[in-house]
């Protein structure tokens, strides 16, 4: 059955559950190389060695198939990959999210999950900011156009796979985080460094 036909028959919550069951399908393999937010962040850290020297423990939050694993392991002493999809073989227990980390990398997670799940991840990122960690986020931007055969759903689209895509604007990132964080756009491709306002006041 075509995705459009399938979705038309589902309630909103059943559609959300269908998309949730496919979140893992959005993860690309290691052969795609290190993600661009992580590459650009490492370049930025080279210009900020005093910040880099303080980063010891890194959480790759929604690490997928571990595209950033090798690079992050090369750069920092301790790496923890977390992904709720157990088959990827990383840490999948939410318990780990209660810990503190020096750096949290959250690449291409917020844009592939529906609003209600995005809010939970955002709350966890805000908790990390209160812990005074550095948070790196990478999101798909509004300039990436949806395909004609994608279906509008909530504030994003259902793809033919069917997975979910929400396109972020820079304004949205600032609206979400600017009360809590100093936001440094890293590039024009949707990568942002968030640092706690509190830690900067020190």
Closest distance of CB 49 from ligand SAM, Å? 25
Q: Which stretch binds ligand SAM (CB under 6 A): 3-11, 41-49, 102-110, 185-193?
A: 102-110
* 58 counts as binding ligand SAM under rule CB under 6 A: no
Of 107, 133, 159, 165, the one binding ligand SAM by CB under 6 A = 107
Q: Which stretch binds ligand SAM (CB under 6 A): 23-31, 129-137, 141-149, 173-181?
A: 23-31
Q: Which of positions 125-154 make contact with ligand SAM (CB under 6 A)?
A: none
* 55 counts as binding ligand SAM under rule CB under 6 A: no
DSSP per position, 74-142:
HHSSEEEEE-S-GGG-SB--GGGGGS--SEEEEESSGGGS-HHHHHHHHHHHHHHHHTT-EEEEE--BT
Q: Give the CA distances from residue 102 to residues 7, 12, 71, 143, in Å, rounded to whole numbers and listed in that order.
A: 41, 38, 16, 31
Task: Check if the beta carbon of residue 74 is closer than 8 Å to that of residue 54.
Answer: no
* 102 counts as binding ligand SAM under rule CB under 6 A: no
* 197 counts as binding ligand SAM under rule CB under 6 A: no
Burial of 181-197, coded b for 16+ CB within 10 Å and e otherwise, reads bbbeebeeebbbbbbbe
Question: Site residues (CB under 6 A) for ligand SAM?
Answer: 23-24, 26-28, 35, 61-64, 67, 83-85, 107-109, 112-113, 117, 121
């Amino acid at each position: 059955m075509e995705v459009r036909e399938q979705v038309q028959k589902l309630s909103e919550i059943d559609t959300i559950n269908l998309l949730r069951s496919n979140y893992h399908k959005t993860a690309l393999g290691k052969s795609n190389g290190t993600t661009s937010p992580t590459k650009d962040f490492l370049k930025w850290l080279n210009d900020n060695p005093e910040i880099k020297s303080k980063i010891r423990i890194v959480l790759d939050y929604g690490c997928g198939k571990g595209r950033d694993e090798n690079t992050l392991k090369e750069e920092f002493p301790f790496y923890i990959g977390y992904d709720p999809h157990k088959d990827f073989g990383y840490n999948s227990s939410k318990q780990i999210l209660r810990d503190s980390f020096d750096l949290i990398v959250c690449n291409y997670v917020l844009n592939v999950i529906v609003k209600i799940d995005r809010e939970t991840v955002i709350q966890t990122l805000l908790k990390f900011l209160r812990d005074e960690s550095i948070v790196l986020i990478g999101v798909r931007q509004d300039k990436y156009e949806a395909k004609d055969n994608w279906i509008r759903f909530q504030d994003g689209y259902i793809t033919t796979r069917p997975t979910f895509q929400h396109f972020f604007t820079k304004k949205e990132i600032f609206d979400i985080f600017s009360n809590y964080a100093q936001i440094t756009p890293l590039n024009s491709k949707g990568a942002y460094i968030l640092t706690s306002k509190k830690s900067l006041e020190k």
